[in-house]
Every structure is written in C-alpha cells, then in structure tokens.
Amino acid sequence: MVLKDKIMEVIGGPHPAAVATIADGKPAVRFMVLAGFPDMTLVGATGKQTNKVAQLKKNPAAALSIWSGKEFSDPYVEIMAKGEVHLDLATKKKYWNPMYEKFFKSVDNPDYVVIVFSATEVKYIAMSTMENEIWKR
C-alpha cells in the first residue's frame, strides 16, 4: 500500500485529533474533531471566539496528531500543518456537518467558523513495527 493510502486510513473521515497551536511562544494543545481529505487537508469546526482561532490568526503553524485508539497496535500520524480560519458562508456550507447542529444550530450562525489545516508534512508511525514514513507536500 502506498504511503498516502496508509495515511488516509488513519485521517479519513471525522476523528478526534490533538491540535497544537502557539500561544505566547508556547504550545497550546486541545482536542478537535477533524475530517481528513485526500489532498492532505484536515477540516474542523469551532467557535469564532476560541483561543485557537486567535492563535492561528496570529501564527498559522500547527501540529496535529491522530490515532484511531481502537487497538494499541494501530498506526498513528503526526502532522505539521498551516491552519486557516474561514468565516465565509461558502466554506461554512461546504464543510457543514449535521453533528455541528448541537453546537451551532445552523450554518448561518456567525459564531461557527471552519478551520482548514493543510498538511506540509505527515509522519506515519506503524505501532506494530515502530517504523515510520514521511510524506511531504
């Protein structure tokens, strides 16, 4: 299996991800549900007033980690990415997911924003062998 396909097995569809941004020169980590796409972007929704939005506007550098958590031996990925905050309705509609209704009620909610993380580097770690491979944009 080619590396990109192995990565997609880990990031494809919605998954909990640890997301690190920079806050006052220090890392700040939180969990987000992100959906991975074949172009090596990961997309999630958040509130407009959250710390991560302010941090990404100041410095778009982000680090992400995703592991399925089903089996200890499952592979995981470490991702270096650039995060972009999208407030426009077209992007919000494009990535709207019914699971967001609980938090934002509708796609028109001005507090609902989309964050698109564009991976610049993905390290794929096979837990069963502890070997890793690196994909770069």
pLDDT band at 71 (very low <50, low <70, confident <90, very high): confident
Residue whose structure tokens are 């299996």: 1
Long-range contact list for 106-112, CB < 8 A, 24+ apart? 110/48, 111/47, 111/48, 111/49, 112/45, 112/47, 112/48
Residues 6+ apart with CB under 8 A from 72: 127
Assigned CATH topology for domain 3-136: Pnp Oxidase; Chain A (2.30.110)
The answer to whether the predicted template modeling score (pTM) of the entire model surpasses 0.85 is yes
**Res. 68: pLDDT tops 80:** no
Structure confidence by residue, pLDDT tens digits, 88-137: 999 999 999 999 999 999 999 999 999 999 999 999 999 888 889 999 99
Share of the chain above pLDDT 70, in %: 100
Query: Which pLDDT score is estimated for 46?
Result: 97
